[in-house]
Amino acid sequence: MENLEKNKTFHRRKILAAFVLFFLAFLGLIARLSYLMVGRSQYYSEMAQDLHERERSIKAARGRILDRNGVVLADNKTVCTISVIHSQIKDEEAVVDLLQRELFLEEDYVRSRVEKVSAIERIRSNVEKSTGDRIREANLSGVKVDEDYKRYYPYGELASKVLGFTGGDNQGIIGLEVSYDSILEGEPGTILTVTDARGIELDAAGENRIEPVDGSDLTISLDLNIQKYATQLAYQAMETKRADSVSVIVMNPQNGEILAMTNVPEFDLNAPFAYQGELPEGATEKEKQDLLNRMWRNGCINDTYEPGSTFKTVTAAAGLEAGAVHTTDTFQCPGYIMVEDRRIRCHKRGGHGNEDFVQATMNSCNPVFVTVGLRLGSERYYEYFQKFGLLEKTGIDLPGEAATIMHKKENIGMVELATISFGQSFQITPIQLMTTVSSFVNGGRRITPHFALEARDTEGRLVRNFTYPVREGIVSGETCETMKMLLEQVVENGGGQNAHVEGFRIGGKTATSQTLPRGSGRYISSFLGFAPADDPQVMALAIINNPQGVYYGGQIAAPVVRQLFENILPYLEEEARSGKG
Amino acid sequence: MSRFRERRGNKSEQYFDYSLLFIVLFLLGFGMIMIYSTSSYEASKDYGDAAYYLKKQAVATVLGIAAMIITANIPYHFWERFAVLGYLMSAVLICLVLTPLGVEVKGARRWLDFGIGLRLQPAEIAKLGMILFLASMVCKMGRTIRTKKGFISILAVPLPISLMIWQITNNLSSAIIIFGIAALMLFVSSPDYKRFFILGALGIAAVAAAVYAVVHIASAENRGFRGERILAWLHPEAYASGKGFQTLQALYAIGSGGIFGKGLGQSMQKLGFIPEAQNDMIFSIICEELGLFGAIAIILLFLLLIWRFMIVANNAPDLFGALLVVGVMGHIAIQVILNIAVVTNTIPNTGISLPFISYGGSSVMFLLIEIGLVLSVSHSIHLREV
């Protein structure tokens, strides 16, 4: 039954043919493999590497902000982020117990996170370092403690609107934190890790690390002590006068370094998103954000106001420069002045009678300054307005400086010119006023108000020395001397006597202006003072917004500057002597 | 020695192909190393046991070697009487997949589970059954095979089984292999060449036409999943998240292996990037870990194995034995070629395992039974004294 047919020669030849066929196929595959593994090796290796590597960024420590004496105003605090890696957890109960105890979390919440099957689950961020350390020391597998930096402001509210704060991504949101973001932020580093297809990092593969470059420290001109004192006085004035807000700026008129800038109420930099007042019932997100934005506003530079009588300094300087007025000119003030058909009143009903220009300045006499303005004429007045730099921004190194709101040149008639002459019908920022007046008392130089002095890296090497533009020749030296004399007289014998400080020569000018709309009973009273009057080293501006009761600048704002000067002038002298100031 | 030889049998010395046996054993051992290397990471994640796949494969291999030893010691003519039965059995078993005995794994219903802990792929039995049936049929046909009728009837025999495997178990690659085995056995048993050239040309033309149709004519709806596989074959990057995913991941593995490879155990792509890399895609991991040198060494080993098959077939005492060996040779050669071609994206992706190396219990068991048959044929070669 068995089939025993013979294996013939052609069978052998055919089998050999089949083998040759297979052999050729194998050769083809070897060729294909060689092409893939030699010719295309680099291409596929890179694609594969791309697939296996995960990039994780390492935050760079943000640079600190230091005051002029090296006191840290903005710092970094180490905080921890606690996460769990499900696949590495060995003792689930212990992990749940530890985390809910240390982090004060609901047990159910922790348990649901711990039991969740995921690559990595974040339990809580912004945990204090001490807590993070305790959790790390418990040494439970599957619990991960990552350290991170968080911005920290040791003085809380102090200079909040100047310093500003950062958001969660380590980026400045307002203030100097925005202006100098690029210097402070540094460069984040990266960790390249190799992971499997699930995204789990492989320990054995090792990591490729690019270290972060920490941000540079920024030294600013602010003086902690002066800032503290200015803030304290501002709060005091706000409370006693039940004012809406009080702003104080202290600046060196010679170089524009700002020693203090406060706008009370300030806010807590460590909790910038907590609204200070009461949120209206049912406020929408947008309304809340608007309220926060208002809370963060820096009135000294973000808002404009009608400067009022302090602006008479500009009229005086322009008149003196143009020769339109001399200190010996005499005037007659009947208590008002007629401009075209308008009757513009002096603040003193009965009028100041006969007075020379020095006395008129001491009296802050409106009719006299209107007369000076009219003598100049709108054309020339506008030219000086422009020459003094009032139409440009000051260039202060804080974001959001407001521009001057001024009549168009062709729209300035006699009445407008008259009102401009005593500081009404247009708006400038407080910092603009200070910058302009500085040029009248520092020899005619328009300085740039600023905070930043220098930036140094973490090793203390100088990264950048900040310099600012100065424009010379704003007014002549002669005008400067006259202006200093006039303004010293205001404090010595005129409306600014409340700013007098025993043993120091003080110059200054008061202002009281009714806010728009007129007749609302709301006033802004202010005082601008400087010392020493013959060679000003410090200038201060106090602005009280909507005070209750007495509202004259000479009576409520001048004392703020006096108290400030009483404290800081001896202090500044001390510093000057020790060679620091 | 010579006295011993005379005592055993006075005709001539008996032959046994040890080199073939050692090549197979080496491939099995190498396969298990690679299965462990490839699957241990995923296995410890999924089952908490790095050797999960290795252990299962080891059990199947031991059973397979036992079966091989038994088969090798039974004269191969013993099986001739089961030729028709084997053919029918294959058909019945394939149909059983549709009954509750059938098991679905990862969306494909290809296995039978008789509740004894081992899953059986009827396609593997069908390959063995087809080799046996065709060898016996060709011998019975005698010279009729040279006629057109004989030629066509031999080609017609595997068709029902191939179609069943394709349609019922949705396993095109096994269907192609079975048909390929039949074509090879026919080629060897017929002295003709012309018909085979025509057959080959027709086959190539049909494939080219199908590819052309898929690329240029068929719309997305009637293209079907095979059509999309063809497109993914032509442009794996464009189908990176779908049909081209596995292919592209395999290419990453092969390409990143380079000339000398990353070293045994150092593959990255096995860490879940290539799903179930221990199965059909194991060759890509071999490339990644052992490089072009390792890959060529394995190919040469398979070539050596096929060469041994040729030696045994050419020296087989009769046509039946020779055809059995040719069938096994065709089975293994076609499967190796198709597997490597798929892994290197030389042909469209279809599920074919690499013989002796890929993970898969029933595959390795039936392959070893086939080796047993070949050894049995080699055993009956009588070396004539020169």
> What per-residue confidence (pLDDT) applies to B33?
95
Amino acid sitting at position B33: I
pLDDT above 90: residue A96: no
What pLDDT score was predicted for residue A283?
75
pLDDT at residue B221, as a whole number: 60
Flag if A29 and B346 touch (Cβ within 8 Å): yes
Q: What is the mean pLDDT of residues A9-24?
A: 92
- Domain match, A373 and A348 both: yes
- Which of A127-131, A371-375, B249-253, B282-286 has the weakest average pLDDT? A127-131
DSSP letter assigned to residue A211: P
pLDDT at B285: 94
Dump pLDDT digits (tens) for B90-141.
999 998 888 888 887 777 778 888 776 667 888 889 999 999 999 999 988 8
Q: Where are the extended beta strands (E) located within A189-278?
A: 189-194, 208-210, 217-220, 245-251, 258-264
| Shortest CA gap A90–chain B (Å) | 13
> In terms of domains, do A470 and A397 share one?
yes
Residues of A in contact with B337 (CB under 8 A): 22, 25-26, 29
Write the residue in A16, A30, A197 that is nearest to B296 by C-beta.
Answer: A30
**Claim to verify: residue A125 and residue A261 sit in the same structural domain:** no
- B36-53 pLDDT, tens per residue? 999 998 888 888 888 999
pLDDT value of position A207: 63
The model's confidence at residue B333, banded by pLDDT at 50, 70 and 90, is very high
Using DSSP bridges, classify how beta strands A507-514 and A462-465 pair: parallel, antiparallel or unpaired. unpaired
What's the CATH number where A570 sits? 3.40.710.10
Q: Give the per-residue pLDDT at A579.
A: 62
Q: Rounded mean pLDDT of A514-542? A: 89
Q: What does the pLDDT average to over A134-162?
A: 86
Give the range among A230-244, A271-285, A408-422 with minimum mean pLDDT: A271-285
- For B143, nearest residue in chain A (alpha carbons): A5
**DSSP string spanning A409-462?**
GGG--HHHHHHHHTT-SSBB-HHHHHHHHHHHHTTS-B---B-EEEEE-TT--E
pLDDT mean over A390-408: 93
Q: Is the pLDDT of residue A297 over 60?
A: yes
Indicate yes or no: CB of B271 within 8 angstroms of CB of A196.
yes
- The Cα–Cα gap between A309 and B381 comes to 126
For residue A520, the model assigns a pLDDT of 78
- Structural domain contains residue A285: no
CB A520 within 8 A of CB A514: yes
Tens digits of residue pLDDT in A181-227? 999 988 888 877 777 777 677 765 556 778 888 899 999 999 999 99
Q: Please tell me the predicted confidence (pLDDT) of residue A150.
A: 83
Q: Check whether the bond before A188 is cis (ω within 30° of 0).
A: no
What's the pLDDT score for residue B5?
Answer: 43
| Residue of A1, A2, A5, A46 best to disrupt the B interface, most CBs of B under 10 A | A5
Q: Quick check: A394 and A435 in contact, CB under 8 A?
A: yes
What is the per-residue pLDDT for B384? 60
Cβ within 8 Å, pair B303-A197? no
- List chain B domain ranges: 15-383
Task: Clarify whether residues A449 and A548 are in a common domain.
Answer: yes
Measuring CA to CA, how many Å separate A464 from each of A217, A321, A343, A452, A469? Answer: 10, 38, 56, 10, 16
Task: Tally the domains of chain A.
Answer: 2
Indicate yes or no: CB of A48 within 8 angstroms of CB of B256.
yes
User: What is the mean predicted confidence (pLDDT) over A564-574?
Assistant: 90
Catalytic residue positions of A?
309
Q: Cis bond leading into A517, ω under 30°?
A: yes
Above pLDDT 90, what percent of chain B? 48
Beta bridge partners of A336: A345
From A285, A311, A307, A252, select the one nearest A430 (Cα to Cα). A307
Tokens 């203090």 identify what position?
A260
Report the amino acid identity of residue A436: T
Task: Looking at the structure, tell me whether residues A327 and A418 fall in a common domain.
Answer: yes
List the single residue in B188, B252, B320 with the smallest CB-CB distance to A3.
Answer: B320
Instruction: Fill in the DSSP letter of residue A484.
Output: H
Picking from A19, A32, A203 by the largest number of B CB atoms within 10 A of its own CB, the best residue to mutate is: A19
Please state, rounded to an integer, the average pLDDT across all residues of chain B: 87
Q: What are phi and psi of A298, to 5 degrees?
A: -100, 100
A535 or A128, higher pLDDT: A535
Sort A467 into a burial class: Cβ within 10 Å, 0-12 / 13-18 / 19+. Answer: exposed
- A239 in contact with B, Cβ within 8 Å: no
Nearest Cα residue to A184 out of A149, A222, A156: A149
Do the domain assignments include residue A343? yes
Position A1 pLDDT exceeds 50: no
Query: Is B77 in Cβ contact with A25 (below 8 Å)?
Result: no
How far is B259 from chain A, CA to nearest CA, in Å? 6
Contact A247, A94 (CB under 8 A): no
CA distance A198 to B243: 20
Torsion, CA B220, CA B224, CA B228, CA B229, rounded to 10 = 180
pLDDT confidence of A119, banded at 50, 70, 90?
low
Domain that holds residue A164: 56-220
Q: Are strands B119-120 and B108-113 parallel, antiparallel or unpaired?
A: antiparallel
- Residues A110 and A230 reside in one and the same domain: no
Are A441 and A532 members of one domain?
yes
Is residue A319 a part of any domain in this protein? Answer: yes
Mean pLDDT score, A283-295: 86
Q: What pLDDT does residue A479 have?
A: 93
Confidence of residue B8 (pLDDT cuts 50, 70, 90): very low
The answer to whether B282 touches B34, Cβ cutoff 8 Å, is: yes
How many C-beta atoms surround the C-beta of residue A112 within 10 A?
12
Q: What percent of chain B has pLDDT over 70?
A: 92
Give the pLDDT score at B361.
Answer: 86
Of A37, A47, A198, the CB nearest to B292: A37
Is the domain of A101 the same as that of A209? Answer: yes
Q: Mind spelling out the 3-state secondary structure of A34-51?
A: HHHHHHCHHHHHHHHHHH
- If you average pLDDT over residues B326-341, what whole number do you get? 95
- The answer, yes or no, to whether residue A41 has pLDDT greater than 60, is yes
Query: Which of A29, A52, A193 should one mutate to test binding to chain B, selecting the residue with the greatest count of B CBs within 10 A?
Result: A29
Which of B358 and A551 is assigned the larger pLDDT? B358
Q: Which carries the bigger pLDDT value, residue A54 or residue A290?
A: A290
Q: Which residue of B has its CA nearest to A40?
A: B255
Residue A386 contacts residue A350 (beta carbons within 8 Å): no
- Predicted confidence band at B6 (pLDDT cuts at 50, 70, 90)? very low
A94: domain CATH number is 3.90.1310.10
In A303-332, the residues whose Cβ lies within 8 Å of chain B are none
Read off the amino acid at residue A391.
L
At A5 the pLDDT is: 64
Determine the pLDDT at residue A242.
93
Residue B383 confidence (pLDDT) above 80: no
Q: Write the residue in B256, B303, B333 that is nearest to A44 by C-beta.
A: B256
Question: pLDDT averaged over chain A?
Answer: 88
Split at pLDDT 50, 70, 90, the class of A6 is low
Given a cut of 50, is residue A74 above it in pLDDT? yes
The shortest C-alpha distance from A3 to chain B (Å) reads: 6
Nearest C-alpha in A relative to B187: A14
For residue A146, what pLDDT is reported?
A: 79
Residue B219's pLDDT band (cuts 50, 70, 90): low
Query: What is the per-residue pLDDT across B236-276, written as a single tens digit (0 to 9) for each?
Result: 888 877 778 888 899 999 999 989 998 888 888 888 888 88
Q: Is the domain of A418 the same as that of A549?
A: yes
A206 to chain B: which residues are within 8 Å by CB? Answer: none
Assess if residue A180 is contained within a domain.
Answer: yes
CB contact under 8 A, B346 and A32: yes
Task: Using the predicted structure, report yes or no on whether residue A547 has a pLDDT greater than 80.
Answer: yes
Look at residue A581 and tell me whether its pLDDT is greater than 50: no
| pLDDT single digits (tens) B50-86 | 899 999 999 999 999 999 999 999 999 999 999 999 9
**Chain B interface includes A47 (CB < 8 A):** yes
| Buried-state track B144-158, b at ≥16 Cβ within 10 A, e below 16 | ebeeeebbeebeebb
- Is the distance from CB of B135 to CB of B87 less than 8 angstroms? no
Average pLDDT of the residues in A239-253: 94
Is the Cβ of A107 closer than 8 Å to some Cβ of chain B?
no
B232 has pLDDT over 90: no
My answer on whether A333 and A373 are in the same domain is yes
Torsion angle of C-alpha atoms B335, B340, B345, B348, degrees rounded to 10: 0
Chain A residues in contact with B318 by the CB 8 A cut-off are 3-7
Is the CB of A7 inside 8 Å of chain B's CB atoms? yes
Q: Are residues A322 and A354 located together in one domain of the fold? A: yes
Cβ atoms of A229 and A565 closer than 8 Å: no
One-letter-per-residue 3-state SS of chain B: CHHHHHHHCCCCEECCCHHHHHHHHHHHHHHHHHHHHHHHHHHHHHCCCCCHHHHHHHHHHHHHHHHHHHHHCCCHHHHHHHHHHHHHHHHHHHHHCCCCCEEEECCEEEEEECCCCCEECHHHHHHHHHHHHHHHHHHHHHHHHHCHHHHHHHHHCHHHHHHHHHHHCCCHHHHHHHHHHHHHHHHHHCCCCHHHHHHHHHHHHHHHHHHHHHHHHCCHHHHHHHHHHHHHHHCHHHHCCCCCHHHHHHHHHHHHHCCCCCCCCCCCCCCCCCCCCCCCCHHHHHHHHHHHHHHHHHHHHHHHHHHHHHHHHHHCCCHHHHHHHHHHHHHHHHHHHHHHHHHCCCCCCCCCCCCCCCCCHHHHHHHHHHHHHHHHHHHCCEECCC
Claim to verify: residue A101 and residue A237 sit in the same structural domain: no
For residue A545, count other CB atoms closer than 10 A to its CB: 22
CA distance A143 to A110: 12
